[in-house]
Chain A
Amino acid sequence: MTISEKIISAHVGRRVQAGDLVVTPVDGVMATDTTGPLALKAFAEMGGSRVFDPSKCALILDHAVPPPNERIANLHSMLRVFAKEQGMRLFEIGEGICHQVMVEHQYVKPGDIFIGADSHTSTYGALNAFACGVGSTDLAATLMTGKIWMKVPETIKIICHGKLQAGVSAKDLILFLVGQITISGATYQAIEFEGEAFEGMSLASRMTIANMVAEMGGKTGIVNPKGLELEYDFDPIYPDADANYLRVLEFYVADLEAQISIPSSPDNVQNISIVEGLPIDYAFIGTCCNGRLEDLRSAAQILKGKRIKEGVRFLIGPASKSVLLDAMNEGTLQILIEAGASIITPGCGPCVGTHQGVPGNNETVISAANRNFKGRMGNPNSNIYLAAPATVAASALEGKITNPVNVRL
């Protein structure tokens, strides 16, 4: 059995395989201020009164925080009232981005099935869990029943041989893989990531990998737990040696260079040398993909004692309050601010074009986020390049797209 087949089998109490339709209990559910309001409306309309288990359900205010207008402020209030009535946790403004918060607060653990009303719910595959994004009405149904129906997915196994070179990060690797698989290459399917390149990765880096399964169209993406270290004990779930895979893809990544995604689709990925030297207006590090402490550290390593190029603006959105505090206490934040960064409230920030840093017409943005669709950051007349945090920092420093290995430290 694949990892997905094992996890789902354990939940439904019988041996299932790819293609089977199941109704499975879930271990956790969350919605955000984008998907939550419609979910609560649907919950009431379908006759829901109590959520199935308040300790397993969470609402997170992250996509538009603090609220930029009265309409969104009122939606936030609606979520607060519901959480209070139900006795479930609501993560307030500034606690962080849903996916970071769910992992930090252990709403999801290895072996779990987790349903989130956000497409990047795949992120928890970093934890050896089966996690799927859904829309608001499915979320409402899961809140009410504690269950979801699904088809057990077929799995694509991606094996990456070799260790990444110094200066090349998990983000470069996943951008490369998104380019290979394409934006629809894993639709309806699960992915398993395996091999030396993943084994030495931190939880944060594994989250970056599993996060961008959404950019391959995948239902879930699970990193093989070999080498996974958590602050608590867990039973890792490995695939069987004779598991059935739809495809097995192998890559040798020891000489992979920094990668960049060119506007306006995340799978339009190139070696950075193709666009090096292109002037930028705006640099952004943050999001559920790359707003963690190791990401801020990699930027600080490049910017220590330096100033970013005049005329460039540089925003940083820590993925959570605890990331912000850690970065502050260890001095990383000071380095970044002194270099010219502006720090925004932990949350999605400018990632989804609602507020806090919409680019101007004809501007070029380099971002550590996961999506660069036209209009993604709120202005269809701007261009978004996606790269690793180190590349974003190096580019902010030079005022043009720059390979971080070429910056003298």
Chain B
Amino acid sequence: MICKGDIHVYGDNIDTDRIIPGKYTKTLDLSTLADHVLEDLDPSFKDKVKEGDILIAGKNFGCGSSREQAPLALKQAGIALVIAEDFARIFYRNAINIGLAIIEIGPHTISENSRIEAHVLEGKVYDKLLDKTYDAVKMPQVMIDILQEGGLVNYLKKHRDYNI
């Protein structure tokens, strides 16, 4: 799983209300989530994001509510990978469960001008601009397995139970 998309860089503590406001979450029509993704943070995001892009953030990305609509909105908008210093706990599980790749790399200096090549399962992020490689914090094997199946739905459909 290699991601080389264009990047969008934001800061610390991006909460789930800013990823997708609560008023838009009560729906099963997932395409509507992408229309409002990050709208209170960067209203231009939904127009500039493309399939395969990478979102870069600082600390505690996805803090706040348990709404799975947050990673779903990013995935629906085309985001293939979120790279952050670290993630809020429920967002982290939710992203993997819906098959959105995420990588936690600790403090970083990735900027708007960086070009990123990320190897998701190996846990490596290469910044071509600064010629710098980041090693990801290792995920438990069960999460890697879930991500490789494309999410928890497929994982459980196949295994019927957790394999730990």
Residue numbers of A with Cβ under 8 A of B are: 21-23, 33-35, 37-38, 41-42, 45-47, 63-64, 71-72, 75, 117-119, 121, 133-138, 140-141, 144-145, 147, 149, 151, 183-184, 187-188, 217, 219, 265, 352-354, 371, 373-376, 378, 380
Contacts and interface: CB of A to CB of B under 8 A. Distances in A.
A187 B92 CA distance: 11
B146 to A, nearest CB: 9
Given A151-B140, A187-B60, A219-B89, A117 B26 contact: no
B102 to A, nearest CB: 13
A134 B23 CA distance: 20
Given A35-B66, A117-B66, A134-B66, 14 more contacts: A23-B162, A37-B28, A63-B22, A75-B27, A75-B28, A118-B66, A135-B66, A137-B153, A141-B152, A145-B156, A145-B162, A354-B26, A373-B18, A378-B23
Interface string B91-113: 00110011000000000000000
A35 B72 CA distance: 13
B52 interface: no
A38 B75 CA distance: 15
A42 B151 CA distance: 10
The 10 closest A-B pairs by CB, nearest first: A135-B94, A184-B60, A135-B68, A352-B22, A137-B97, A373-B17, A375-B40, A380-B40, A119-B66, A46-B156
B157 interface: yes
Interface string B148-164: 00011110110011101
Contacts of A188: 89
Contacts of A72: 26
Most buried by A among B66, B72, B151, B154: B66
Contacts of A119: 64-66, 90
A354 B142 contact: no
Contact of B142 (A45, A137, A149): A149
Interface in B13-59: 13, 15, 17-18, 21-23, 25-28, 40, 59
Nearest to A136: B68
Interface string B58-83: 01100111111100100000000000
Contacts of B88: 184, 187, 217
B98 A137 contact: yes
A299 B154 CA distance: 50
A134 B90 contact: yes
B27 to A, nearest CB: 6
Most buried by B among A37, A118, A135, A352: A135
Contacts of A144: 156
29 contacts: A21-B164, A23-B164, A35-B66, A37-B26, A38-B28, A42-B152, A45-B153, A75-B27, A134-B66, A135-B67, A135-B97, A136-B94, A137-B94, A137-B97, A137-B151, A137-B153, A140-B153, A149-B162, A184-B86, A187-B88, A352-B22, A353-B23, A373-B17, A374-B40, A375-B17, A375-B18, A375-B40, A378-B22, A378-B23
Most buried by A among B13, B89, B153, B164: B89
A63 B23 CA distance: 10
B26 A71 contact: yes
Given A35-B67, A119-B66, A375-B40, A46 B90 contact: no
Nearest to A38: B68
A118 B154 CA distance: 23
A376 B17 contact: yes
A136 B33 CA distance: 16
Contacts of A354: 22-23, 26
Contacts of A47: 156-157, 160
A41 B69 CA distance: 13
Contacts of B21: 353, 375, 378, 380
Given A45-B157, A149-B162, A135 B60 contact: no
Contacts of B89: 187-188, 217, 219
Nearest to B30: A38
Contacts of A46: 152-154, 156-157
A314 to B, nearest CB: 22
Contacts of B28: 37-38, 41, 75
Contact of A63 (B15, B26, B140, B160): B26
B26 A75 contact: yes
Contacts of A45: 153, 157
A217 B60 contact: yes
A33 B153 contact: no
A38 B162 contact: no
A183 B13 CA distance: 8
B93 A34 contact: no
